[in-house]
Copies of this chain bind each other. A is one copy, B any other.
């Protein structure tokens, strides 16, 4: 299916940019006018993935995070990618409550939140190379207007 709009943004792994990434995805969605709930779900999932790249992917190092969004008539696909340290065991990482950083008050709920709020989630990662999260969501609110 042909997308109706697309964009990609690259930003530094600074925690200030968590809010930046949320505003960018909201601005990109403004043209299709999703419901408040749909927008909240997407902003939250983006926040989780970007935070993971910052704190787990890069840790104390600095690096670049890439967010790519493709908008379709009734859905959005979002890819968030880092070139950080990668995930050794993806199944373990995606288990609810698993976290490698309990001392940072992480709760291991990031992937669970992404899975719950989005319609699909896939994680691709290689130790020492980086991590790419791909999520998509259908807009139920827009189905009728097609």
Integer count of this chain's copies in the complex: 2
Q: Which residues of B have CB within 8 Å of A27?
A: 19-20, 23-24, 27
A5/B9 in contact, CB under 8 A: no
Q: Which residues of B have CB within 8 Å of A28?
A: 20
A19 to chain B, nearest CB (A): 7
Q: Which residues of B have CB within 8 Å of A5?
A: 11-12, 14, 16-17
B24/A30 in contact, CB under 8 A: no
Q: Which residues of B have CB within 8 Å of A14?
A: 5
Q: Which residues of B have CB within 8 Å of A11?
A: 5-8
Given known contacts A6-B12, A7-B10, A23-B23, what 5 new A-B pairs fall within 8 Å (CB)? Answer: A5-B12, A5-B17, A8-B10, A16-B31, A24-B27
